[in-house]
Amino acid sequence: MLDDEVTQVLRELDAGFPPVHEMTGPQARRAVAARRAPAANLDDVAVVEDRRIPAEDRTIGVRLYRPHGDRAARPVVVFLHGGGFVCCDLDSHDGFCRALAKGTDALVVSVDYRLAPEHPAPAAALDAHAAVRWAAEHAAGLGGDPARIAVAGDSAGGNLAAVAALLSRERGPRLAAQVLLYPVVDPGCDTGSYRTYGTGHYNTEAAMRWYWRQYLGGDALPDPAHLVAPLRAPRHDGLPPAVVVTAQRDPLCDEAAAYARTLTGAGVPVVHRHYPGLFHGFLTLPGFGPAESARQLLWHDLDRLLSTRSAA
């Protein structure tokens, strides 16, 4: 039974996830990394390449994933990994990025942005936007289409993707799509889904409040606030079409759904995929049946957005 599989997986995840809210940032990072399994889908892509790219007064790492085949001018997806702004890296989401490149036949650029607390907000968001700008400027040389750039991310990476979309509206480049997978969009931690699913469902309220403190360097939001809290942006019109994924048993469900409604209200085309019974982070679990079917739908949604735009 599907419900039995979900319950068993969720129970194992909840029991095995380290109590990050009782740790320092580096301790949490090591504890989360210790649970990581290597990617098993290495053949999904033809080439994987690590690079350093410029980002104002620094460089950041990116990992490029090239699908099989010699298709010219592929769409480009800039991907921001989750991990509460504190944990995870290029390796933690390697398998997902390989699957994303294969499923959408897109060039994927995974971003090794700066992590908190060593680099508080808005460092990660600025790195995300720098990577988007670099991808757009170099798309043609990489075999990509500069008119079909998407930004995507899961959890905290969904926050960074949403902020990068806001910054791109203000500063360029023009994006074709934004993909927000159970995104963190507001530090309030006070919605109904927090009250219902804040404990016992893998991602917890205690962990989320701790993540926010690490990222903000305290409790105060920067000015402007939407550099870290995209739900609080003064306006949301003019943003690229969005795919927003939410999971019922996720503390972040209500805020992510509110963001989807906010985008729709601002005239942004939105596909909101809600998954009853599922939980935070499910899409990146290899071998998890519900994740496989949801991924296929995600590839379809993203391909539909990117296939409607071509270089002019």
Residue 262 tokens read as 């906010």
**Would you call 236 helix, strand, or coil by DSSP?**
coil
d(CA 163, CA 129): 8
d(CA 77, CA 82): 15
- Asked if 155 is an active-site residue, the reply is yes
> With 0-12 CB in 10 A as exposed, 13-18 as middle and 19+ as buried, what is 37?
exposed
Q: Among residues 209, 229, 202, 220, which one has the least CA distance to residue 285?
A: 202
For the chain, what's the residue count? 312
For strands 74-80 and 107-112, give the pairing.
parallel
Whether residue 117 contacts residue 44, with contact meaning beta carbons closer than 8 Å, is answered with no
Residue of 92, 110, 155, 168 marked active site: 155
In angstroms and rounded to an integer, the radius of gyration of the C-alpha atoms of the chain is 18
Q: Which residues are catalytic?
A: 155
